[in-house]
Amino acid sequence: MANSKLTVQETEQQIPQLAKFGTRAAHRKALISGSVLISQNGEIRRVESDGTSSTVKKLPPRVKMQKGTIIKIK
């Protein structure tokens, strides 16, 4: 029983790394078929497959909120 529990813990520790690899692979795959939108330095940017990027929209400043704050979306 201890071995299977250790295996689950080890597997759970790998999740962030697997997510990182999966996200990068999806990004590369999307770039092959066209451009990708990313959020960077307060802007929405379009990144082309050749590596060039352009600003699509400037984002409003981030709003800091305390943990547990309830917000209503209209």
The predicted model gives 11-21 an average pLDDT of: 93
Q: Within a domain: residue 21?
A: yes
Residue 34 has pLDDT above 50, yes or no: yes
Q: Within a domain: residue 73?
A: no
Q: Within a domain: residue 40?
A: yes
Q: What DSSP state is assigned to residue 38?
A: E
* Distance from C-alpha of 17 to C-alpha of 21, rounded to nearest angstrom: 6
Q: Within a domain: residue 28?
A: yes
Residue 53 has pLDDT above 70, yes or no: yes
- Residue 42 structural domain: 2-58
Whether the Cβ atoms of residue 43 and residue 58 lie closer than 8 Å to each other? yes
* Distance from C-alpha of 2 to C-alpha of 67, rounded to nearest angstrom: 36
Q: Within a domain: residue 72?
A: no
Token pair of 74, please? Answer: 């209209």
Q: Within a domain: residue 23?
A: yes
Q: Within a domain: residue 69?
A: no
Q: Within a domain: residue 51?
A: yes
Count of CB atoms situated within 10 Å of the CB of 49: 13
* Number of folded domains that form the chain: 1
